Amino acid sequence: MNIPHNGLQIAIIDYEMGNLFSVKRACEQAGLDVLITADASVIMSSDAAILPGVGAFGDAMDNLRRLDLVVPIKEFVKTGKPFMGICLGMQLLMSDSEEFGYHKGLNIIEGSVVRFPAENREGGKIKVPHVGWNKIFQPSSEDLTYWNESPLKNIMSGEFMYFVHSYYAVPSDKRAVLSTTTYEGTQFCSGIFLRNVFACQYHPEKSAAEGIKIYKNWASAIKSKQGYGA
C-alpha cells in the first residue's frame, strides 16, 4: 500500500451504497489523501474515516453487517479519531430508523431517523424527497470543544447546501446539533458535531465552494489534531 505523501491516511468506507468518488474528489480538493476501502484493518489503521451513503437505511445496515463493518466502525469512533458521516451515513449513526419499517442503526449517536410529515401546517401536501438547495443555520451557542473549532468555521449561518433525502435524524442530545434546516415548515437537524464525530444530512461535496470549504475545515482539524501543520 502506498503511504500518503502527508503522512495521513483517510478511509472512505465502501459498503456498496455510497457516492464514493464525489467524496473522494472533494477530499482531494481539500488536500487529503484518501483510500476507498471495505477492509476493517485498513479502516482501523487510518487517521480519519468517512461514512458516505445514498439509498435506504435498512439496505445499508444489511450491507454493513454482511461486510462485517458494524464493529469496526464503532471501534474506530471509540478511538477518538475524526469521523464524518454524510447523508445516509449520518442517519446510520443513529439508534434506529422508521424507513420502510423499523431498523436498528449503529447507535453511535442516540436518536431516531423519521420521515418528513405528509402535510405542512397549512394542510398542504409536502413534496418528498426534499431535493435541492436549502439553508443551514448554526445554533447561536455551541459547545464544540473536540477540535476547538467548528467544521462550519467561516461558513455563514444561512448558507445554502445541497440536500437529497426523505428522512432526517433526531438526536436525543440537542447539544450535538451543529446546524438546522427548515423544509416545508419542519425544522430538522442538518448537522451533528459530537466529540470526534461530524455528520451532515446535506452533501458538502455537491455544495460548490462552500461545501469544499467544509472539507478543508475538517482536513485542517485532522492535521492539527495529529500534529501536522494545517
User: φ and ψ at 201, to 5 degrees?
Assistant: -75, -30
- Tens digit of each residue's pLDDT (9 = 90 or more) over 137-185: 987 654 444 445 689 988 999 999 999 999 999 999 998 999 999 999 9
pLDDT > 70 fraction of the chain, expressed in percent and rounded? 90
Ranges of H-type helices in the chain: 20-29, 40-45, 57-66, 70-78, 88-91, 208-225
Domains in the chain (CATH in brackets) are 10-225 (3.40.50.880)
Answer whether residue 1 shows pLDDT above 50. Answer: no
Active-site positions read 87, 203, 205
- Tens digit of each residue's pLDDT (9 = 90 or more) over 62-119: 999 999 999 999 999 999 999 999 999 999 999 999 999 999 999 999 999 999 999 8
Which cell numbers in the block locate residue 83?
469521523
For the ranges 13-27, 56-70, 122-136, 214-228, the lowest mean pLDDT is seen at: 214-228
The position carrying cell 487510518 is 46
Give how far the C-alpha of residue 153 lies from the chain's centroid of Cα atoms, to the nearest Å: 16
**Band of residue 7 on the pLDDT scale cut at 50, 70, 90:** low
